[in-house]
Structure 1
Amino acid sequence: MPDTESESPFIVFFSKQNEKCSRCSRPIMQGALLCVYRNHKLTCTGCEGLGDHLLLPAGDVALTRRATKHSNVAHPVYSPEKRRNRYERRGTLVEAYALQLAEAECEADAADREVKRAKDAVRREKMDQEYIAVFAMRIRQLYPSCPEGLESEIAMHACEKHSGRVGRREAAREELDDESLKLAVRAHIRHTETPYDKLFERGYKKEQARDAVIDIVNRVERKWAAECLDNAPPPRMPA
């Protein structure tokens, strides 16, 4: 079950099937909201004092923050996400008057918040470009013999927004370590310098395909990591 900032003994979910409240015995239909205690006891929202609350869908951060502030009791709502093996927050239960106040506040300063969002977007874009440039520079330092301009291509791919790739991971962005850089380079080599993708088409599983091309990946990586002969100091003549 997800951890919540609330001290409530239960979590609110969308019901996956028809259930029955353990207190009032009323039916809880599939898709309706129900409260699940840590001991798996199920209750309806009415028995928990949430029956008159409104569900504010997730997505509008400002509206949710303000409605939660104004509501005497606010409760997050979750649903299980099987594909990602985790719980996704779907919204927040808030009191009706609290939502009305929050909507009025958001409408009053909508123009100011839009200006701020635009400025923040420009600032984030600049920071992203600077981060990608540093990422590419570090790749060139670690792999001085990789093809010209390839470091930028790898950096842009690894740092693509919302991709979940190594360059977007929080740990990598906080401290750009060599391991993150090497993972990005090895992934690029795997997809562009080996038959890795074709092995998938032939039915190979991920680990099987990786094992099949690992020697090629290692060989190309060593080649790119080697110092360019053009940049190497001239050999010393024997005395």
Structure 2
Amino acid sequence: MDLVVIEPLKQRHCAECRQGPLPLHLLEFNAPVCLDCADLAHLVYLPRGSAALTRRAREASSLCAVVVRFNRRRKRYERQGLLVEEAALARAESACLADADARARRRERDAVRRAAEDVRFTTSFAAEILRLFPGCPPARAREVAEHASARGSGRVGRTAAGRSLDEGAVTAAVRASVRHLDTEYDTLLMAGVARYEARARVAAVIDGVLASWSCPAH
């Protein structure tokens, strides 16, 4: 089990030595403890960013700790980096320099592969939109598919249901597009109308558009 070190959002003082405010601390019996008192002060900080460097430093370090910080918006702790032994970090950096070219070429190949996968998936998503809503203009179906399935967006097309072309997920993507482009929903939000009320006001318009698209275009 990983040792967890917290990067606090508020000022904290060590429960043992009273040092503070602390840039990093552990929690022991729900009380903050500084790295000196926790016998972790000899470790160095490796921020997140390089997966290869992080993996190698972690493997080479006999003692390490995960650094986390609370994200208020997402209401969860998120990893910021690692605390590792200085010698382990030096060895990891040397190893990464030695095979940097090979890893760069692999990343390029992976990027090409992912791009091809994204094109195929977007095409499949657009085809499923047109199967469910044959009256939807093909260009619009493609636009919805591209928006919903953008890699790293967290939108419905990237969920498990979206990846499996679940009817509910595909319909949700189409509804979202209609809501923003074919109704006054965004204008209502800008006017201060609550989201749920704004959705209720435009629901009939969305249903009407989807009903018209459910029939083949003539």
Q: TM-score, normalised by structure 2?
A: 0.94
d(CA) in 2 for partners of 1:222, 1:16: 50
Partner of 1:177: 166
d(CA) in 2 for partners of 1:208, 1:163: 26
Q: Cα gap change, 1:71/1:168 in structure 2, threshold over 3 Å: closer, same or farther?
A: same
Asked if residue 28 in structure 1 is aligned to residue 43 in structure 2, the reply is: no
RMSD, aligned α-carbons: 1.5
Q: Name the amino acid aligned to 1:135.
A: F
d(CA) in 1 for partners of 2:63, 2:81: 14
Partner of 1:19: 12
Q: Cα gap change, 1:196/1:75 in structure 2, threshold over 3 Å: closer, same or farther?
A: same
Task: Give the drift of 1:202.
Answer: 1.7
Partner of 1:233: none
Mind listing any 5+ residue stretches in structure 1 that lack a counterpart?
A: 231-239
Give the structure with higher Rg (CA): 1
Task: Give the drift of 1:42.
Answer: 1.6
Structure 1, 183-192 or 155-164: larger mean CA deviation: 155-164
Count, aligned residues: 218
Asked if residue 211 in structure 1 is aligned to residue 204 in structure 2, the reply is: no
Mind listing any 5+ residue stretches in structure 2 that lack a counterpart?
A: none
Partner of 1:98: 88
Native 8 Å contact 1:196 1:209 kept in 2: yes
Task: Give the drift of 1:114.
Answer: 0.3
Deviations 1:105-160 (A, max 9, x none): 00000000000000000000100111100000000100001123211111011112
Runs of 4+ in 1 over 6 A off after TM superposition: none
d(CA) in 1 for partners of 2:67, 2:205: 48
Percentage of pairs with the same residue: 37
Native 8 Å contact 1:18 1:27 kept in 2: no
d(CA) in 1 for partners of 2:190, 2:40: 52
d(CA) in 1 for partners of 2:44, 2:132: 55
Native 8 Å contact 2:71 2:77 kept in 1: yes
d(CA) in 2 for partners of 1:171, 1:65: 31
Q: Name the amino acid aligned to 2:181.
A: T
Partner of 1:187: 176
d(CA) in 1 for partners of 2:70, 2:160: 24
Native 8 Å contact 2:118 2:151 kept in 1: no
**Alignment map for 1:143-162 (pairs within 5 Å):** 143-162=133-152
d(CA) in 2 for partners of 1:167, 1:159: 4
d(CA) in 2 for partners of 1:66, 1:209: 50
Partner of 2:107: 117
